[in-house]
C-alpha cells in the first residue's frame, strides 16, 4: 500500500521485529535515516541477479517508510518475478543493506584518554560522575540507549520546559574504560559492589611509592553486566591511600608517579577516569600531571573535569582548585586542558540559591558547563544496592544526563 506526499511516497508492508531493531540500530550507528537505508536496500536487492537466501519472517508486523516515487512499484515487480512475497522481499532487502553496511568499530585512540574528575570539596558527587561517565562510555554499540541531545540540554539550561521523552536513541560508545578509585575513602570501589584492597596487600599507593608487591593489572576487576560487556573495569582503592602524600614526599619526580604506575595497563583501555580525593595535596598534583596533554594528543582529548554543585561553597572550592591547576601549569610547563564543569545534584526546587548559582556557573564560559545532573532518587538507590546506575535505572533522567555528558566530552 502506498500514498504520495511531496517527493516521496509512504509505503506500508511487514517486517520481522528482529530485522526492524537491527535496521534501527545500524542506521543510528552510521548516522543515516531509516528510510534512506530501506531505499538503498531495495535498490541493492532489485539489482541482484537472483534472490538471496530466504529470511525467517515469522512474527512480521506492520512496517512503514517513505520511498522515492516509483521505487515501490519496481520492487513489487521484482518480487513478482522472483516469486517471493512483499514481506519476504523487504526482509531480504533490509538484510542485504545490513550485510553491505557493517557496524562501525569503536574508535581506538593511539593515546588513551585520561579524564581527571576532581574538586577538593567533598560531597559534590565526583564518584557518581566518574562512574556514570565511565558506564556511559562503555555501553554496548549494538544497542540503542536514550540520550538527551544537545538542543534539549541547551533548552533545559535556559529554563525552558522540557518534555522528558524528548530524547534520541543512540548506539552506545563501546569504549574500553578503566575507572581508577584514587580516593582513600574507597567510595567508588564500594558503590560498584567491590571491597577495598586489603591494606597489607598490593595497591596503587604502593606502586606510586615504588613499593609494588606484584603487577598492577592483577588488581583490576571487571564491572559485570551485559550492558558493558567486558569493557568496564575498576582499579579498587585501598585505605593506605591516606598515607599517599607522605609516601610521595620522598619519591623522585613525584608528580609523574601516577603516570608511572598506570603505564603498564593504560594501553588496554580507550579511556582512564580518575576519581580524585577531596584534596589539594601531592596526590592531586600527580593526578593533574597524569591528565596533561601528551605529545601528539589533540586538545580536549584528556584533561580535568571539575564537578561542582549549584551553591556558594562550591564556587569557593573551585577558585582554590583552579589556582592549584594554574600553578602546576606554570611550574611544570604543562599543557593541561579543562574538559568542562559538571553541575551535579541540581534541583531547581531549592529556589534562588540553586538557580542563581547555576546561572553563575553558566556565565564562566571558559571552561564551560558541559553537563547538569539532577539530584534524583535513582542514583542513591543504585548506591544502596551497589549497582552501576546505568544498569540499575538505564532510562532514568540521571542516566540520560550521564550519556549526554559522556558525549559532550568525547
What's 197's DSSP letter?
B
Burial of 2 (0-12, 13-18, 19+ CB in 10 A): middle
| DSSP-assigned beta bridge partners for residue 44 | none
Q: What is the pLDDT of residue 346?
A: 87
Mean pLDDT of successive 10-residue segments in the chain (410 residues)? 65 93 92 94 93 92 93 95 95 95 84 93 89 97 83 49 64 96 94 94 94 95 91 95 87 92 96 91 91 93 92 78 84 89 87 84 89 91 95 94 92
Tell how far CA 2 is from the center of its chain. Answer: 41
Helices (H), 31-102: 34-47, 71-82, 86-100
Rounded Cα–Cα distance for residues 190 and 386 (Å): 7
The domains of the chain are located at 2-100, 113-408
Q: What is the helix (H) or strand (E) element at residue 146, kind and residue range?
A: strand 144-147
Q: In the structure grid, which three cell numbers stand for residue 243, read together?
A: 598515607
- Output the pTM of the full model: 0.84
Tell how far CA 189 is from the center of its chain. Answer: 19
Q: What is the pLDDT of residue 6?
A: 58
Core vs surface per residue 178-188: b (16+ CB within 10 A) or e: bbbbbbbbbbb
Rounded Cα–Cα distance for residues 303 and 114 (Å): 6
Core vs surface per residue 324-336: b (16+ CB within 10 A) or e: bbeebeeeeebeb
Rounded Cα–Cα distance for residues 123 and 119 (Å): 10
Radius of gyration of the CA atoms of the chain, in A: 25
Rounded Cα–Cα distance for residues 143 and 26 (Å): 9
Q: What is the helix (H) or strand (E) element at residue 118, kind and residue range?
A: strand 113-118
Q: What is the pLDDT of residue 402?
A: 95
Q: What is the pLDDT of residue 106?
A: 77
407 CB-near residues (< 8 Å, 6+ apart): 136, 147, 173
- Which overall architecture, per CATH, does domain 113-408 show? 3-Layer(aba) Sandwich (3.40)
Q: What is the pLDDT of residue 149?
A: 65
Q: What is the pLDDT of residue 281?
A: 84
CA dihedral defined by 376, 381, 382, 384, rounded to 10 degrees?
140
Rounded Cα–Cα distance for residues 248 and 241 (Å): 11
Q: In the structure grid, which three cell numbers stand for residue 264, read together?
A: 603498564
CA dihedral defined by 140, 145, 148, 151, rounded to 10 degrees?
80
What's 170's DSSP letter?
E
E strand intervals along 111-175: 113-118, 144-147, 168-171
Q: What is the pLDDT of residue 383?
A: 92
194 CB-near residues (< 8 Å, 6+ apart): 221, 234, 236
Tell how far CA 122 is from the center of its chain. Answer: 24
Count the helix, strand and coil residues of the chain and give each as a percent rounded to the nearest 5. 45, 20, 40
- Residues written for the chain: 410
Rounded Cα–Cα distance for residues 409 and 171 (Å): 17
Tell me if 278 sits within 8 A of 139, measured CB to CB: no
Q: What is the pLDDT of residue 314?
A: 75
Rounded Cα–Cα distance for residues 353 and 269 (Å): 40
Rounded Cα–Cα distance for residues 395 and 245 (Å): 40
Pick from 180, 88, 121: nearest CA to 320 = 121
Rounded Cα–Cα distance for residues 177 and 137 (Å): 7
The two beta strands, 8-15 and 61-67, are antiparallel
Q: What is the pLDDT of residue 376?
A: 86
Amino acid at each position: 500500500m502506498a500514498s504520495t506526499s511531496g517527493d516521496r511516497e509512504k509505503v506500508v508492508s511487514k517486517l520481522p521485529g528482529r530485522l526492524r531493531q537491527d535496521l534501527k540500530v545500524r542506521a543510528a550507528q552510521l548516522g543515516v535515516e531509516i528510510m534512506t537505508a530501506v531505499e538503498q536496500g531495495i535498490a541493492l536487492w532489485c539489482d541482484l541477479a537472483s534472490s538471496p537466501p530466504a529470511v525467517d519472517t515469522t512474527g512480521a508486523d506492520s512496517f512503514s517508510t517513505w520511498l522515492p516515487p516509483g521505487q515501490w512499484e519496481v520492487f513489487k515487480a521484482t518480487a513478482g518475478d522472483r516469486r517471493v512475497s512483499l514481506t519476504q522481499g523487504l526482509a531480504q532487502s533490509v538484510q542485504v543493506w545490513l550485510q553491505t553496511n557493517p557496524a562501525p568499530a569503536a574508535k581506538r585512540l593511539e593515546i588513551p584518554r585520561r579524564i581527571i574528575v576532581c574538586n577538593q570539596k567533598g560531597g559534590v558527587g565526583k564518584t557518581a560522575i566518574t562512574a556514570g561517565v565511565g558506564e556511559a562510555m562503555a555501553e554496548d554499540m549494538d544497542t540503542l540507549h536514550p540520550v538527551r541531545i544537545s538542543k534539549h540540554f541547551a533548552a533545559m539550561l535556559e529554563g525552558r520546559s522540557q518534555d522528558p521523552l524528548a530524547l534520541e536513541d543512540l548506539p552506545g560508545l563501546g569504549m574500553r574504560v578503566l575507572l581508577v578509585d584514587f580516593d582513600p575513602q574507597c567510595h567508588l570501589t564500594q558503590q560498584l559492589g567491590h571491597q577495598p584492597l586489603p591494606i597489607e596487600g598490593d595497591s596503587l599507593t604502593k606502586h606510586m611509592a615504588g613499593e609494588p608487591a606484584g603487577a598492577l593489572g592483577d588488581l583490576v576487576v571487571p564491572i559485570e553486566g551485559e550492558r558493558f560487556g567486558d569493557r568496564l573495569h575498576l582499579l579498587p582503592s585501598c585505605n593506605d591511600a591516606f598515607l599517599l602524600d607522605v609516601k610521595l614526599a620522598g619519591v623522585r619526580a613525584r608528580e609523574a608517579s601516577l603516570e608511572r604506575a598506570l603505564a603498564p595497563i593504560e594501553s588496554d583501555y580507550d579511556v582512564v577516569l580518575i576519581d580524585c580525593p577531596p584534596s589539594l595535596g601531592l596526590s592531586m598534583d600527580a593526578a593533574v600531571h597524569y591528565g596533561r596533554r601528551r605529545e601528539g594528543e589533540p586538545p580536549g582529548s584528556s584533561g580535568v573535569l571539575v564537578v561542582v554543585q549549584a551553591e556558594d561553597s562550591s564556587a569557593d572550592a573551585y577558585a582554590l582548585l583552579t589556582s592549584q591547576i594554574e600553578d602546576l601549569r606554570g611550574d611544570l610547563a604543562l599543557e593541561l586542558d579543562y574538559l568542562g564543569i559538571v553541575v551535579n545534584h541540581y534541583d531547581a526546587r531549592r529556589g534562588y540559591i540553586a538557580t542563581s548559582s547555576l546561572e553563575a556557573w553558566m556565565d564562566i564560559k571558559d571552561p564551560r558547563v558541559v553537563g547538569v545532573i539532577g539530584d534524583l532518587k535513582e542514583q542513591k538507590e543504585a548506591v544502596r544496592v551497589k549497582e552501576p546506575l546505568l544498569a540499575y535505572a538505564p532510562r532514568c533522567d540521571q542516566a540520560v544526563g550521564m550519556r549526554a555528558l559522556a558525549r559532550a566530552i568525547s
